[in-house]
Structures are given as structure tokens and as C-alpha cells.
Amino acid sequence: MNKIVTVKNLTGQDTYHIIRQTGEESYTSFPIQADNPNWIALKTAILEDKAQLQDADGNTMTAEQAKDFVKELP
Amino acid sequence: MSYLGNTPTTQSFISGTDYFNGTGAQTAFTLSRTVASVNDIQAVVNNVVQVPNDAYTISGTTITFTSAPSSGTNNVYVRYLSTTTQAITPSQNTVSWSTLDSNVQGDLGISFKNKIINGNMVIDQRNAGASVTINSAAWTYVTDRFCFLGQATDGVFTAQQSSTSPAGFNNSLLVTVTTADASIGASQIYTLRHTIEGFNTADLNWGTANAKTVTLSFWVRSSLTGTFGGALNNEGTRSYPFTYSISAANTWEYKTITIPGDTSGTWGTTNSHGIRITWGLGVGTTYSGTAGAWAGSEYFSATGATSVIGTLNATWYITGVQLEVGTQATTFTTAGGSYGAELALCQRYYFKKGPQASSDVRYGIGFSASGSTTTAYINVTLPVNMRTGPTSVDWNNTLALWAGGTNFQVTAITITSSGASVTDCLLTCTTSGITGEKAFQLVAWSSGGGFLGLGAEL
């Protein structure tokens, strides 16, 4: 599952990241940025109904909610 | 007048006769020419023609008689029956790869010709041989530089580095179907992919009239037989689907595919993706195209290719992957030429620190400084210049910030925006209960398995 989290950067601004659990105790994260290949692939998969998205509280978005959400992101 | 082969004037027969004096004791005589066979000469003793092999043998310029010719003057003579031996210099562009002796082919296995990194599947930084389940539409790396795409529903397969390999190799990449998908949707894709960075394909001149032909070669083995497929593409607008056949189940077979350079489309020539190579494991019709021709679409495989994912427990292995300029598949070599060089090439795209040994209770990954009560920053120096500033970070939940005998478990690690470069990466560790502006060490606090990985994959 792909969870969106917010992390403050060095200047105190909120930045968005995806955290994905990849194993029983392992994770990967990547920033939501227009040129990030991991984000590009995930965004494409969400728009093609091939991946799901969770909000920061762990609630799984519906496919339509996820699509609408990612369309607003870079 | 034109002619084929060597110059007639030097290739034609030149007659000749050597005369010797028999002594009754001497059996070996030195000829004026080198001959290759007893049949290339006629030896005569006392005007009696001698029987080749029985009466005499030849070695280079030495003729040796079984019995010493009797004494006499010029009573032994040798007449030459074949053309003279000559050194032949082949004309330019007349010696092909297949003409060369196999040992010479091996000696000419020059490094840096192979554009595939980790084509022999030896390096597996992420998983160290462990099996990985592919059950999502996220590209998932198994052995370095090779990643899989699956589906969140329907078919599932595992992938892992394997020690089953053809002669001359130690490893391969193994796929095993654990949940079959016998009815693949039009847009569904199960595939293996390797991406070559644009810097390493720029010399091919693809997208121009001077596009160079390349040859893809690899070893493959499967529990299935039939015609399988794959493709080269630029991710989006240009693709070259190809097929290869596997004729015997569970047997390694060597495959070569020659691809004419693409004179159209846009192909990356810097640090973005250059050429993507995919091997279809089950690809829907939307992403399958006609084999053997360039097309203006995104394809991952060839139309009608055998679906590996369609058969439960089916296996498929691959190793020895090589992509090189030219029409001939030559002897496999790694891109770097040595294990260390190959690892460094892999680290341009992924670098893993750890995992720590099981005895390392506090394996130190690096030092950090807290920025608030919930965050700390750690700067990681990269072992090689990466393709770009790291774009992803991997970790496991044994990591903690440690200071003064207290562990603060890290709940998330993210790349700090504007903090990533090709030589260093600034990471934000999220935790709780720490004191701001204090130094910590990022450690794996339980025994075994702690790691940090940074990715800059294409």
C-alpha cells in the first residue's frame, strides 16, 4: 500500500512523500515530485486503477478519490 | 581483371625439386619449403617412388625416412606437388566473428562493450538472494538493475537470484508463478525490465539517420516451451518487439536478436532513460506489437507470445544478458569487466548500507542532528556519484536514533527536499521524544538485518 505523509523540510515547509511497505519490516519512501521516476510510475498506476493510495491516517482512498487527489499533485 | 580470394600470381602452383645425397645412415633431410602433409610432396629414392607415411613422414620442413637411403649423389629427391606456403593478409572487412577460432573469440571479450549492467545477475544488493513476491503494479527490483512489474490483482509470481545457471555463469534470475493468470486483460503487464541510461546509449545515434544496429543476447530456460516475447522501447513512443523460442523445457538455450537502430523517435542521451529492454511474462494486447519491426507505440512484448504467468508453477530463468553494437553476439562480458567495477556501476543506481551482521547490536549507519522533537537529519556520503540525487530511500524498522544509551525508534525516513546531490544525500528521520539540536547516531538497534538503501533508478 502507498501511504502519503507530510514532512517539513529544512525551511519548515510541508513536503509530500509516499511511504510503501515492501516487506514485513521494510519500507521505501520517495518524494512526490514531478521528475521522480517512482512517483511518475505510481501516479500512472493509480490513474490506470492498478494501485491504491492511503492518506496519512492509513485510510484507503477510493479509486476516484485517489485519482482526483493525484491529479492535483505534480 | 577482378578475382575472388588471394592474388593469383602468389597463389598459383610453383614447381620445385629438392635433391639430397644419401649416406646409408641419415634418415632426416631438410626441405626448402614448409609442407603441411605427406601428400604435398613425392619422395623418390634411387628412382623408386616412396609410399607416404609408410616410407617417410613430414614435419614442417623435415622429411624423415623410415629407413636411411643408401649412399649416392642426388639419389634422393623430393618433388613439390602443392602450392607454396604463403602468408595471407585478409583484406579489410573480410574476417567475420564466426570465422575466428572460439578461443580467439574468448580472448576478444573486451569489457565495456556490454551496455547491460549486472547481466550475469551476480549482484543482488537489495535481497541477497531472497525471494521477492511480485504482486503489485510497482516496479520492483530484484537483482540489481533488473526490475519486475506485476499486477495488484490476478497473477502473482516470485523472483529471486538463483544459482542455477548455464556453464560459465554462477547466477541467474528466476521467476516462479505462484498464482496463475490465464486470462490477461488487454492493459495488464507482467514483465521484467532493464533500463540503460542515456549516457550509455548516446553513441548508438538512435533517432537519427546514423542509428547503429545492436544485438541482444541472453541465456534463457523455462519449464514452458514455445515462442516468447520482449521489446526494446523508449518508454512511450517507440518500440521494437522481438520473439525468441524455447524448444526444450528446463534446458538452457542461448538467444540472439539483432535490432536495426531506430532512425525515428526521441531517445535519451544523458542521465535519463536511454533504452528500456523488457521480457514479457504475460502482456495484454494493448502493449503487445508485431515482432521484428519498429512501431510508434509503447510495447513490452510481441503479439502472440507465450504467457509465463498463465501457468501455475511455471519457471523462467535468464542470465548472460548482453546488448552490444553490431550484428554479431560476441562472448559475454560484464559491463565493468570485474566484480568490483560492476558493483560500482550498480551503485550509480542503488546503494545499500548494511545489513549489519547479526552480532552488531548497534550497527552505526551515520551521525545525525535533531531539528525538532520529532525529526533528525542525517547526511549520507554516497560511494560513487549516483545517476542523480537519490530519488528513493529504503530502510527497515530496526533503525533508531541513539544517544546517551537511549534508542528512539525511527518511524519514517524521507529524502529531504533540496538535500540530495549525486555525491551526498540528506535524509529526514521521523521519530518522537528527542531533544532538538542534539547529536545522534542512526543505528540498527536490534541484531541483524538493519539497513539503509538509496536509489536513483531510471
DSSP string, B142-165: SSTTEEEE--SSS-EEEEEEES--
Assess whether B405 and B325 both reside in one domain: no
- Tell me the three-class secondary structure of chain A, residue by residue: CEEEEEEECCCCCEEEEEEEECCCCEEEEEECCCCCHHHHHHHHHHHCCCCCEECCCCCECCHHHHHHHHHCCC
Q: Please give the Cα distance from A49 to B235 (Å, whole number).
A: 20
Assess whether B342 and B352 both reside in one domain: no
> Could you tell me if residue B313 is inside a domain?
yes
Query: How far, rounded to the nearest angstrom, does the alpha carbon of residue B54 sit from its chain's CA centroid?
Result: 53
Contacts of A37 in chain B (CB under 8 A): 391, 457-458
Confidence at residue B1, expressed as pLDDT on a 0 to 100 scale:
44
> Could you tell me if residue B101 is inside a domain?
no
> Could you tell me if residue B271 is inside a domain?
yes
Residues of A with CB under 8 A from a CB of B: 2, 5, 7-10, 15, 17, 19-20, 22-23, 25-31, 33, 36-38, 41-42, 45, 48, 50-52
Assess whether B310 and B162 both reside in one domain: yes
> Could you tell me if residue B2 is inside a domain?
yes
> Could you tell me if residue B182 is inside a domain?
yes
Assess whether B328 and B360 both reside in one domain: no
Which of A26, A27, A50 shows the shortest C-beta gap to B151? A50
Portion 279-338 of B in contact with A at CB < 8 A: none
Q: pLDDT for B161-207, tens place per residue? A: 999 999 999 999 999 999 999 999 999 999 999 999 999 999 999 99
Q: Write down which residue in B289, B318, B346 finishes a domain.
A: B346
Q: Please give the Cα distance from B58 to B21 (Å, whole number).
A: 18
Assess whether B316 and B193 both reside in one domain: yes
Asked if B394 is an interface residue toward chain A (Cβ–Cβ < 8 A), one would say: yes
Torsion angle of the four alpha carbons A57, A62, A68, A74, in this order, in degrees rounded to the nearest 10: 50
Asked if B419 is an interface residue toward chain A (Cβ–Cβ < 8 A), one would say: yes
CB B301 within 8 A of CB B230: yes
Q: Please give the Cα distance from B247 to B224 (Å, whole number).
A: 9
Assess whether B304 and B355 both reside in one domain: no
Assess whether B277 and B176 both reside in one domain: yes
Which of B136, B375, B394 shows the shortest C-beta gap to A27? B394
Structurally, chain B folds into a number of domains equal to 3
Assess whether B199 and B304 both reside in one domain: yes
Global pTM reads: 0.82
Chain A nearest CA to B87, separation (Å): 58
Mutation for B interface: A10, A33, A40, A70, most B CBs within 10 A: A10
Which structural domain, as residue segments, surrounds residue B140? 132-346
> Could you tell me if residue B380 is inside a domain?
yes
> Could you tell me if residue B377 is inside a domain?
yes
Asked if B449 is an interface residue toward chain A (Cβ–Cβ < 8 A), one would say: yes
Confidence at residue A19, expressed as pLDDT on a 0 to 100 scale:
96
Q: Which of these, B76, B62, B92, lies nearest to B22 by C-alpha position?
A: B76
Judge: B138–A23 Cβ closer than 8 Å, yes or no.
no
Q: Hey, is B345 helix, strand or coil?
A: helix
Q: Please give the Cα distance from B452 to B394 (Å, whole number).
A: 6
Assess whether B397 and B281 both reside in one domain: no
Q: Write down which residue in B68, B95, B122 finishes a domain.
A: B95
Nearest CA in chain B to A42: B138
Chain B nearest CA to A64, separation (Å): 17
Assess whether B216 and B313 both reside in one domain: yes
Nearest CA in chain A to B413: A29
Judge: B394–A28 Cβ closer than 8 Å, yes or no.
yes
Q: Write down which residue in B346, B365, B387 finishes a domain.
A: B346
What percent of chain A is modeled with pLDDT above 70?
100
Count other Cβ atoms within 10 Å, centred on residue B44: 17
Q: What CATH number corresponds to the domain at position B313?
A: 2.60.120.260
Confidence at residue B106, expressed as pLDDT on a 0 to 100 scale:
62
Assess whether B26 and B175 both reside in one domain: no
Assess whether B222 and B237 both reside in one domain: yes
Confidence at residue B108, expressed as pLDDT on a 0 to 100 scale:
65
Sequential pLDDT tens for chain B (458 residues): 444 555 554 555 677 899 999 999 999 999 998 888 898 899 999 999 999 999 999 998 999 999 999 999 999 999 998 766 566 778 888 888 778 777 676 666 565 799 999 999 999 999 999 999 999 999 999 999 999 999 998 999 999 999 999 999 999 999 999 999 999 999 999 999 999 999 999 999 999 999 999 999 999 999 999 999 999 999 889 999 999 999 999 999 999 999 999 999 999 999 999 999 999 999 999 999 999 999 999 999 999 999 999 999 999 999 999 999 999 999 999 999 999 999 999 999 999 987 767 776 677 888 888 888 999 999 999 999 999 999 999 998 788 899 888 889 999 999 997 667 999 999 999 999 998 888 999 988 777 778 999 999 99
> Could you tell me if residue B112 is inside a domain?
no
